[in-house]
Amino acid sequence: MKKTYKIDVDCANCANKMEVAANETAGVKQATVNFMTLKMIVEFEDGADPKTVMPEVLANCKKVEDDCEIFL
């Protein structure tokens, strides 16, 4: 399952850090962050619940970029 989320991030480097952090989150098969459109596309692993996984993605992203935001 793929879902698209609106994000708030200040620079392309920060977006890259968010992408890496999201991809390291359990339950995420692949995450792509597009700084130009301010969107994150997340493909979830089979059986993963997006409502459970996305708060973890946000927490991991905030560890590397504390002023980022993902609108769930």
- At 54, which CATH number? 3.30.70.100
pTM of this structure: 0.93
Given this model, what pLDDT does residue 18 score?
A: 96
**What is the residue whose two structure tokens read 């560890």?**
63
- Domain span at 12: 2-71
52-63, pLDDT tens digit by residue? Answer: 999 999 999 999
Residues, the chain, total? 72
| CA distances, 72 to each of 20, 45 (Å) | 19, 18
Give the residue from 61, 63, 55 showing the smallest Cα distance to 9. 61
27-50, pLDDT tens digit by residue? Answer: 999 999 999 999 999 999 999 999
Count how many domains the chain has: 1
Given this model, what pLDDT does residue 31 score?
A: 98
The chain-wide mean pLDDT, for the chain, equals: 96
